[in-house]
Structure 1
Amino acid sequence: MDPTIKDVAKKANVSIATVSRILNDKPGFSVKTKTKVLRVIEELGYQPNAIARGLVSKRTHTIGVLMPTLLDMFAARILNGIDDYAHELGSSVIVCNTDNNGQRTLKYLRVLAEKRVDGIIFVSEYLKDEYYKVMSDMKVPIVLVSTMSPDYPVPFVKVDDELASFAATEYLLKQGHRRIAMIAGSPEDPIAGVPRIKGYRAALNAEGDEEAKELIVSTQDFSYESGMMAMEKIVDHPLKVTAVFASSDELAVGAMSYANKRGIRIPEDLSIIGYDNTRLAQMSTPPLTAVGQPLYEMGNKSAEMLFSMMNTGETAESCLMPYTIEERETVTRI
């Protein structure tokens, strides 16, 4: 039979109320008593019942994370950062794959409400009015990751996508490239599409060189398959580009794969830079130069902000994280 809180109290020679206060981080005990009780809990292998703890603390020690996909390395790194932080504080994470589907997102939000989660982290999607209404009704803290809301006062953790895109394009310009194509997200996507396109265009305009030509191929997502399709359009376009800026690593690797099928050598014939700096960038052949987002740290920071809000009731300050240019082997100077 699994040990109970009564067993812990008996072996530690304290009251059940004292064990409960220690488990729920309430005052009323000495450091010596806390150390003794925690040692007994470890010795017995006691696992506090989350529901019972929730009745006392009004918390379930679970948080909800909504993500548009769980399949790519971008999502995995952010989720790792969130889960590690939550685990250190003794909380569990309920992960919901929304698939960028509005009805599915609302369904998951209702599930999280039924589970009485203590807070929500919303990753890489636009915070629609209907989502915010449901979250507001839940009366729990919310943090956005790799997205932000112009409409609602919700704290966020992200990189400045416009500046990072500017830096990627500027990097190619400094290598001597002037005819630079961009494989972008949707021009209607206000989160990752519009800002990155604006940064790309701003860098070309800032160059002030008549030879600096733009070519934007929009995609509906940031997948490998979309990168292949976009690259076909670029290769067959009259503007013979010397470099490509892809707004995700998966798009970049898809573009490289298509280029290889057409006998185009990377970087001898065509330079490519990606965006995110996931492990895929390191594993590609050749290794992909990329704009680096600190994805794990972004996830970790969002969890830190969420737990701070849960504990203090105060809204956390939004956080812009630094980006980098990770130079590898897919960009050459001309």
Structure 2
Amino acid sequence: MKGKSANMEKQTITIYDVAREANVSMATVSRVVNGNPNVKPATRKKVLAVIDRLDYRPNAVARGLASKKTTTVGVIIPDVTNIYFSSLARGIDDVATMYKYNIILANSDENNQREVQVLNTLLAKQVDGLIYMGHTISDNLRNELSRSKTPVVLAGTIDPQDDIGSVNIDYRDAIKDVTTRLINNGNKKIAFVSGSLDQPINGQYRLKGYQEALDAAKMPYDESLVFQTEYSYNAGLALWHDIQATGATAAIVSDDELAVGVLDGAVDAGVKIPADFEVVTSNNTKLTEMIRPQLSSIQQPLYDIGAVAMRLLTKMMNKEDIDQKTIILPYDLVKRQSTK
């Protein structure tokens, strides 16, 4: 049995094995693998045939040690199941592939302590750069980032101190636009539903836009209409009765899954959408078109936010000149069936 199990173990094929089988130097194999044109066509063909036969896969870590560069980017994502973040990640991954960077995706579970732990795990893997999508940059995380000297870009996340490069839309203006539209539709009480207001994107940007629209319309700001909860369908569903109890006739929601929960809560209670209650959400993920009635939404260029963040990071990693590290992309408003 001992001999049999040893034979069953997968043998690691090295660059040395390929060079020996093809009867060329390891430098030649390296040139073929890295796409260096300085190889005779016949030699390249012979080496590629051996690579194929032996199923040789270059060791990215070993190549990284040789070049002092692992060509790897760490991406910290708060919730891998949320369509908002996976839409951003798609743009990140496509640009990373274009520039031949590998991605290590790490889920932080929206937990500050875990974010620091995940960051240190990625730094230990010698990543060349980081994209951070968490909602808040804690002091501990900021200290670790500045100490590591690794280039970092935020995607769909705001740094109130403006130290870290970021790609977003103007959340304050977007919410102000939406609130103004709902006011113009005749709504006197509009609920504001978001994640924690301790998260700058909510407390310092979205809420400010909501307040500015109320001020412009000479309407009072009522704290009882402001709801903080987690970004989930069940949280939205559970919140409906509290929203209804305020007498609100409309809601602005900062997350699509949360908005679907609020909408379903209203429909389950027999409320007519949008005649008796209007709902606008913030991210325009595919969820907005899968629900009935379909959700009106702020339209963020989610794929572009991810793609531009990754391109900004490649510039930082290659020490290219950067015109601006805080990038604001345009947004739009999409009217569907959940608004009048």
Would you say same fold, with TM above 0.5? yes
Are 2:317 and 1:317 aligned? no
Residues 41 and 303 of structure 1, relative CA distance in 2, 3 Å threshold? farther
TM-superposed CA distance for 1:48, in Å, is 2.1
Query: 2:291 — aligned with what?
Result: 284
Residues 305 and 35 of structure 1, relative CA distance in 2, 3 Å threshold? farther
Are 2:135 and 1:128 aligned? no
Query: 2:226 — aligned with what?
Result: 217
1:186 pairs with 174, 196, 199, which one? Answer: 196
Deviating 4+ runs (over 4 angstroms) = 1-15, 21-25, 31-43, 210-215, 313-316
Are 2:147 and 1:137 aligned? yes
Are 2:280 and 1:270 aligned? no
> Normalised by the size of structure 2, how large is the TM-score?
0.84
The one-letter amino acid of 1:253's match is V
Are 2:73 and 1:66 aligned? no
Distance in 2 (CA, whole Å) between partners of 1:221 and 1:248 is 9
Q: 1:81-96, aligned counterparts within 5 Å?
A: 81-96=91-106
1:273-327 CA-to-partner distances (Å, cap 9, x unmatched) read: 1110111111111111111111111111111111121122656622111111111
Query: 2:86 — aligned with what?
Result: 76
Unaligned residue ranges in structure 2 (runs of 5+): 1-10
The question of whether the paired residues in 2 share the 8 Å contact of 1:204 and 1:213 is answered with: no
Q: Secondary structure at the match of 2:135?
A: coil
TM-superposed CA distance for 1:33, in Å, is 4.3
2:300 pairs with 260, 284, 293, which one? Answer: 293
The question of whether the paired residues in 1 share the 8 Å contact of 2:284 and 2:297 is answered with: yes
Q: 1:320-331, aligned counterparts within 5 Å?
A: 320-331=328-339
Distance in 2 (CA, whole Å) between partners of 1:184 and 1:9 is 59
1:221-279 CA-to-partner distances (Å, cap 9, x unmatched) read: 22222222332112122xx3332211221221111111112110111221111110111
Distance in 2 (CA, whole Å) between partners of 1:314 and 1:130 is 29
How many residue pairs get matched?
Answer: 325
Query: 1:99 — aligned with what?
Result: 109
The answer to which of 187-196 and 54-63 deviates more is 187-196
1:33-74 CA-to-partner distances (Å, cap 9, x unmatched) read: 498888777654453211221122211122111121111111
Unaligned residue ranges in structure 1 (runs of 5+): none
Are 2:208 and 1:198 aligned? yes
Distance in 1 (CA, whole Å) between partners of 2:44 and 2:222 is 65
The question of whether the paired residues in 2 share the 8 Å contact of 1:274 and 1:291 is answered with: yes
Distance in 2 (CA, whole Å) between partners of 1:92 and 1:115 is 12
Distance in 2 (CA, whole Å) between partners of 1:331 and 1:34 is 65
Q: Secondary structure at the match of 2:239?
A: helix
The question of whether the paired residues in 1 share the 8 Å contact of 2:131 and 2:153 is answered with: yes
Residues 328 and 12 of structure 1, relative CA distance in 2, 3 Å threshold? farther
Are 2:61 and 1:51 aligned? yes
The question of whether the paired residues in 2 share the 8 Å contact of 1:219 and 1:226 is answered with: no
Query: 1:231 — aligned with what?
Result: 240
1:64-89 CA-to-partner distances (Å, cap 9, x unmatched) read: 11121111111111111112222233
Distance in 1 (CA, whole Å) between partners of 2:230 and 2:221 is 27
Q: Secondary structure at the match of 1:192?
A: helix
Q: 1:146-157, aligned counterparts within 5 Å?
A: 146-151=156-161, 153-157=163-167
Identity of aligned residues (%): 35
The one-letter amino acid of 2:252's match is F
Residues 37 and 296 of structure 1, relative CA distance in 2, 3 Å threshold? farther
The one-letter amino acid of 2:232's match is S
The one-letter amino acid of 1:284's match is I
